[in-house]
Amino acid sequence: MSMAKSARSPQEAVDLDLDLRSPPESAKKLPNKDSSFLDGSPSESPSLETTKGITAFQTLVHLVKGNMGTGVLGLPLAMKNAGILMGPLSLLAIGFISCHSMHILIRCARRFCHRFNKPFMDYGDTVMHGLEANPSAWLRNHAHWGRRIVSFFLIVTQMGFCCVYIVFLADNLKQVVEAVNSTTNNCYYKTEILTPTMDSRLYMLTFLPFLVLIVLIRNLRVLTVFSLLANITMLTSLIIIVQYIVQEIPDPRQLPLVANWKTYSLFFGTAIFSFESIGVVLPLENKMKDARRFPVILSLGMSIVTALYVSVGSLGYLRFGDDVKASITLNLPNCWLYQSVKILYIVGILCTYALQFYVPAEIIIPLATSRVSKRWALPLDLFIRLAMVSLTCILAILIPRLDLVLSLVGSLSGSALAFIIPPLLEISTYYSEGLSPITIVKDTLISILGFVGFVMGTYQALDELIQSGDSPTFSNSTIFIQ
């Protein structure tokens, strides 16, 4: 999912890539410092934390790159679903609320770290302790469900990312193959010659053996190469895409200012999917040399991300209008320069799959292997990995619409993690101390907004998928345009 790249050691690159979305369960599995990226927990020695910590600039870079992935490529179509005026305004609002929710999570986590004298508090622990601080006896008695709910949504989110990656890989590879005979070095004339090939679902199956081999790599140091390669390819691809879409912008007056409310729910899900980085903030804060500066870095980083999202989404929709595809890479001209963009992104996403897959694997596999003898632990580990990667491929085949998968994952899990849980966590944590009515109203409204987006976005995405029936419309049947 990562894109931007900073000058850092290879081990630090994979450490932070895997640390950003780490589950709470893995924190108890790896006590040594070399494996600390799984839980984001620092060494018990404060002096070692200072020595090993990252700078404010490195934190900013990793925060920005933690938001970059396939979601940004789907924002031009999301703008179409919202309207050229409503889309950018809504994206700004969602970015602001997402940033505010991250600040809430940080504040609550710091409070419980201080109360329980712990150096680090992950998302699941924070929610669990927040429920324990609630005046309701029933919530206190069921506080452990807070951790389980967060773990569930983390699994859904990461497995959803993997499904999106498979659909993205198939869509882009199919288009490259279909256009290979007519691809030229001239990027300034219209080409509409496509050579039909096999169904996109078969392309998804062709990637399955490669994905299986990648996820069977259990040595995380080996994944460093994949992380660095993904960063380089995605950064290069996005630069080429942006320079193309700004070359020629048609008259925007033909585009609707506000779209239909039904399609707006799809916009909401895609936007939330793109901002799905709330799991990043606590591990990043923990790795900083001076964690007191993190709130400022967070605000700056989210401002940069929001500005980039609004720019790419708006310019992409202005450039292609109603012809915009589920991924803007599918709108690029049929010349080798822009075909190389798709190939680069294919390589980057293929490499990133293993990193996103690692998080649900570290939640599920330890729970399963702890119930068998050591003799069967490794075979069970490998079997579960094979089953999980096969499941993501099957789900991608069953739900082949990239835009709908983005919206479904964002609405289902992104809304809960970024909009619903943090405001309720603040109320639960501070209510007994006399929380102001304005704060309660604010948090309630944010949670209601997230719940409405959760219900409407999920319903609309599922409804669109059902209407697609047995003949889904693939976004890769693209006519290349100038």
Structure tokens at 296: 């400022």
Helix (H) or strand (E) holding 449: helix 437-468
Distance, in Å, from the CA atom of 234 to the CA atom of 394, rounded to the nearest integer, reads 26
Please list, in sequence order, all residues whose beta carbon lies within 8 angstroms of the beta carbon of residue 457, skipping any fewer than 6 positions away: 265, 266, 268, 269, 272, 407, 408, 410, 411, 412, 415
Helices (H), 9-143: 10-19, 46-52, 56-65, 70-73, 75-82, 86-116, 123-132, 137-141
The predicted pLDDT at position 88 comes to 94
Q: For residues 171 and 402, is the Cβ–Cβ distance under 8 A?
A: yes
In percent, how much of the chain has pLDDT > 90?
23
**DSSP at 54:** B
Give residue-wise pLDDT tens across range 290-322.
Answer: 888 899 999 998 998 899 899 989 999 999 888
Quick check: helix, strand or coil at residue 143?
coil
Prediction pTM value: 0.76
Give residue-wise pLDDT tens across range 130-141.
Answer: 999 888 888 889
User: Considering Cα of 82, then 86, then 87, then 92, what sign does the dihedral take?
Assistant: negative
The predicted pLDDT at position 224 comes to 59
Consecutive 10-residue runs of the chain (482 residues): their mean pLDDT? 40 43 40 35 34 73 72 88 93 93 93 89 90 88 90 86 87 84 67 70 90 80 67 81 85 85 84 78 82 90 90 91 85 82 84 79 87 89 92 87 78 87 93 88 94 86 72 39 36
45, amino acid identity: S
The predicted pLDDT at position 15 comes to 45
Q: For residues 2 and 352, is the Cβ–Cβ distance under 8 A?
A: yes
Q: What are phi and psi of 302, to 5 degrees?
A: -70, -30
321: region left, alpha or beta (phi > 0 left; psi from -120 to 50 alpha):
left
Distance, in Å, from the CA atom of 79 to the CA atom of 85, rounded to the nearest integer, reads 9
Distance, in Å, from the CA atom of 30 to the CA atom of 18, rounded to the nearest integer, reads 14
Task: List, as one string, the DSSP characters of 262-311.
Answer: HHHHHHHHHHHHHT--GGGHHHHHHHBSSGGGHHHHHHHHHHHHHHHHHH
